[in-house]
Amino acid sequence: MRQLLNPFLMTTGGILGTLLLAAAFCGISPQLGGTPTKADKQVYAKSGHYQDGEFVNLLPTKVLTGSSTAAVMWQFLFHKDPTATPPGPLPTQPLDSLAITQKTPELVRVTWFGHSASLVELAGQNILLDPMLSIEMGPVSWATPNRYNRSLAITPEKLPPIAAVLISHDHYDHLDYETIRKIKDKVGHFYVPLGIGPHLRRWGVAPERIVEMNWGDSARLPGLTVRCTPSRHFSGRGVANRNSTLWSSWVMESATKRIFYTGDGGYGPHFAAIGAAYGPFDLALVECGQYNEGWAEIHMRPEQSVQAARDVRAAVMLPVHWGAFTEALHPWNEPVKRATAEAARLGQVITTPRLGEPVTLGTALPNSRWWE
């Protein structure tokens, strides 16, 4: 028995040692973000979604269902699907930065960069969603998933002026320290859920450029309104700040067009409520990927993603949260395969652009099966 236990303990000890080292490094790294003040917490307490020092969902929600953190980690490390990552870099269409600056107010265009990072051009404004535009993720890149492509359709430095950055939550694959540092001086305003302001302030973003929002809040830009709406997820960038910031979805509305972004989160009745209040939408960017049996309440399976698009009354669904990192146990292209099949079954229009390939409303939608 001792001979059998020793290798197990050595392996387990190595994993625990790695985690402790990572936690210690995170504690001193600026990547961890900022800490809310007492005044900040007093504001959170009035939000209606803050209890006992943590933000909460509209519905009771478990981060893990029917599993343990150790079991999920063990499976991810040692029983990963052999097709969890693509055999090589994914096809990418370089984005011409000049084209972004030359447009008419009538143009409605969305460009997906992989994972959830996307550029929305609406009402003559550039809106950047969850701009994770780095190759490495988090403070200890050797302990986080590798990006499939070592180059993106555009670098943060080449982006033109951005009217608004919308952040859905503070996880490393959505709120990226290095990208924020590179773009902060070309962004008009950062619109973020409650609690993310301290992160941005620590990273050098001017306080007057930060707008923290509760679910139901809206902000007005020239010709455009952005609304912070609910999602069903969780937050935190370290071992001691779980749910210290709010998570959200986003509505973007011009005089004639409406775009919706789900952010991350599990399926729930909030989608139908958003559709009833603010829909129909011309296009919805919908989380579709990085799901697991144990994450049933905080991430959607592809079939649920399609149903969410239907719930919000989206004319077109654009699947996101895939095509960049492997963060779950499924094959890398399973999300889009299952989503396109379900969309066909339900009659939901879906578009599947390559990385960097623009989706322009009013023109033919990209629909090649490039992932096969």
Residue 41: pLDDT over 90: yes
Rounded Cα gap, residues 266 and 147, in angstroms:
24
Q: What is the pTM of this model?
A: 0.92
Q: In sequence order, what DSSP letters do the residues of 293-332 get, joined into one string? A: GGGTTTS--HHHHHHHHHHTTBSSEEEESBSS---SSS-T
Residue 356: pLDDT over 50: yes
Q: What is the pLDDT of residue 6?
A: 34
Residue pLDDT, tens place only, 108-156? 999 999 999 999 999 999 999 999 999 999 888 777 889 999 999 999 9
Residue 236 corresponds to which tokens in the numbers above?
A: 């935190």
Lowest mean pLDDT among 91-100, 278-287, 325-334: 91-100
Rounded Cα gap, residues 230 and 262, in angstroms:
9
Rounded Cα gap, residues 273 and 251, in angstroms:
13
Q: In sequence order, what DSSP letters do the residues of 145-167 get, joined into one string? A: PPPS-SS-SS-GGG---EEEEE-
Q: What is the pLDDT of residue 131?
A: 97
Rounded Cα gap, residues 89 and 71, in angstroms:
30
Q: What is the pLDDT of residue 163?
A: 97
Q: What is the pLDDT of residue 240?
A: 80
Lowest mean pLDDT among 99-113, 241-255, 300-314, 349-363: 99-113
Who contacts 248 (Cβ-Cβ below 8 Å, separation ≥6)? 168, 169, 193, 213, 215, 228, 229, 230, 231, 263
Phi-psi region of 307 (alpha: psi -120 to 50; beta: other; left: phi over 0): alpha
Q: What is the pLDDT of residue 135?
A: 95
DSSP 115: B
Q: How many residues does this entry show for the chain? A: 372
Percentages helix, strand, coil for the chain (3-state, rounded to 5) are 30, 20, 50
Mean of the pLDDT values across residues 197-211? 97
pLDDT-derived band at 25 (thresholds 50, 70, 90) equals: low
Q: What is the pLDDT of residue 27?
A: 52
Q: What is the pLDDT of residue 140?
A: 82
Residue 18: pLDDT over 70: no
Mean pLDDT of the residues in the chain:
90
Q: What is the pLDDT of residue 77?
A: 67
More confident residue, 11 or 115: 115
Residue 15: pLDDT over 60: no
Q: What is the pLDDT of residue 13?
A: 34
Residue pLDDT, tens place only, 269-308? 999 999 999 999 999 999 999 999 889 999 999 999 999 9
Do residues 63 and 293 touch, judged by C-beta distance below 8 A? no
Pairing of strands 109-114, 358-360: antiparallel
Q: What is the pLDDT of residue 78?
A: 67
Rounded Cα gap, residues 167 and 247, in angstroms:
9
Question: Which residue, 264, 288, 260, 282, is CA-closest to 272?
Answer: 260
Residue 68: pLDDT over 90: no
pLDDT-derived band at 69 (thresholds 50, 70, 90) equals: low
Residue 12: pLDDT over 70: no
Residue 9: pLDDT over 50: no
